Amino acid sequence: MKKALIMGVDGQDGSYLAELLLEKDYAVTGWIPVGIPVADNNIAPLRERISIIKGDLSSQASLLDTLTETRPDEIYNLASPSFPAASWGDPVMVGDIAGLGVTRLLEAMRCVTPGARFYQASSSELFGVPAQAPQNELTTFHPRNPYGIAKLYAHWSAVCYRQHFDLFSCCGILYNHESPRRGLDFVTRKIAHTAARIKLGLDGELRLGDLEARRDWGFAGDYVRAMWALLQQEEADDFVIGSGQTHSVREFCELAFACLDLDYHDYVVQDPLLVRPPEPTQLVADPSKARQVLSWEPVVSFVELVQMMVMADYQALQ
């Protein structure tokens, strides 16, 4: 039985990954940060089937203890502040956890479990203002917020530990991936949740920024399959993971409200204070390498994703 350590198991991706690995008969240990309140609703159904360990990504000793205790075959690092726009609120903390924390984890791996396989959750935020569209593994990085900068530091740390110490260290450069477990700070969940509240008479309007902003959106459950596939390769490598298609916020609204037999025009208000500067180049994935090497394809369509999120919130609120 393989042993897996999932850093950030309580999050959207961590919980879906835990479910996937349990289906594959892994012994799963989930890591959560010590001293920080963590909502466990995502992993509540799994608590009898996984072990939980607490630790601190800002402490080298804590990470050494974590790996010494768990001795995993596979390490999935999904522990990071996950809302890029909010990273301006505390850029030092974001850099310490999302950036230096990964180097501490890699160093602990080098010292304690050098034969383990490591997955680093990189992000399309590495590209920031991309030089080309779509983006692939060779596209120049150009992050534009503290989150993207920290993720770039972590990404290159993972690459350098692979090259210098011959660790099996992989990075998945993931584009936006959503689910009913997404936090309410994210526009997709905000739309789904508010549409459900409006249908139930709990709200009267939804205020959004630029309705024409476009994103490459996929389902988180599909994307964790790619994470696992990265660590099953003969050689460690990095992959862009995304749908390769973009959809607008307006499209998301139209589908979300239509799920509940509502017309989004009657409820969505465009708030100028929420409008961000226009993006000169579109962030959209070129997942050709993942298709060819990993045989990975997303299964859940954009329409199915929106319906899934809306109905989950509607049923929960009922």
How far is 170 from 148, CA to CA, in rounded Å?
18
How far is 83 from 300, CA to CA, in rounded Å?
23
**Statement: residue 291 has pLDDT above 80:** yes
Cβ within 8 Å of residue 90, ≥6 positions away? none
Cα atoms found within 13 Å of the Cα of residue 36, Cβ hemisphere only: 15
How far is 53 from 222, CA to CA, in rounded Å?
26
Picking from 160, 64, 79, the residue whose alpha carbon sits closest to that of residue 109 is 64
- Other C-beta atoms lying within 10 Å of the C-beta of residue 235: 8
How far is 179 from 13, CA to CA, in rounded Å?
9
Give mean pLDDT, residues 133-158: 96
pTM of the predicted protein model: 0.95
Give mean pLDDT, residues 276-298: 90
Give mean pLDDT, residues 251-260: 98
Q: Are 146 and 91 in contact (CB under 8 A)?
A: yes
Options 3.40.309.10, 3.30.70.270, 3.10.129.10, 3.40.50.720; CATH of 3-177+220-241: 3.40.50.720
Q: Domain-by-domain residue ranges, the chain?
A: 3-177+220-241, 181-216+245-283+301-317
> Model confidence at 280, in pLDDT bands (50, 70, 90)?
low
Give mean pLDDT, residues 10-15: 96
Cβ within 8 Å of residue 226, ≥6 positions away? 172, 174, 239, 241, 290, 294, 296
Class of the domain covering 181-216+245-283+301-317: alpha beta
Note the pLDDT tens digit of each residue in 106-131. Answer: 999 999 999 999 999 999 999 998 98
How far is 305 from 302, CA to CA, in rounded Å?
5
CATH topology match: 3-177+220-241 vs 181-216+245-283+301-317:
no
Beta strand 74-77 pairing with 3-7: parallel
Instruction: Report, as residue numbers or ranges, the catalytic residues.
Output: 123, 125, 147
How far is 220 from 131, CA to CA, in rounded Å?
26
> What are the C-alpha distances in Å from 40 to residues 47, 121, 129, 133, 243?
9, 21, 35, 38, 29
How far is 303 from 196, CA to CA, in rounded Å?
17
**Statement: residue 37 has pLDDT above 90:** no
pLDDT at 279: 67
Note the pLDDT tens digit of each residue in 227-255. Answer: 999 999 999 999 999 999 999 999 999 99
Note the pLDDT tens digit of each residue in 190-238. Answer: 999 999 999 999 999 999 999 999 999 999 999 999 999 999 999 999 9
Give mean pLDDT, residues 178-183: 96
Report the DSSP beta bridge partners of residue 74: 4, 117
The H or E element that residue 54 is part of is strand 51-55
Number of helical H runs and strand E runs in the chain: 10, 13
Between these two residues, 36 and 58, which has the higher pLDDT value?
Answer: 58
**Statement: residue 274 has pLDDT above 90:** no
- Lowest-confidence range among 15-24, 244-253, 273-282, 287-296? 273-282
Q: Are 279 and 215 in contact (CB under 8 A)?
A: no
**Statement: residue 83 has pLDDT above 70:** no
How far is 118 from 302, CA to CA, in rounded Å?
30
**Statement: residue 85 has pLDDT above 70:** no
Report the DSSP beta bridge partners of residue 269: 207
Phi, psi (rounded to 5 degrees) for 279: -95, 120
Note the pLDDT tens digit of each residue in 47-71. Answer: 999 999 999 999 999 999 999 999 9
The H or E element that residue 126 is part of is none
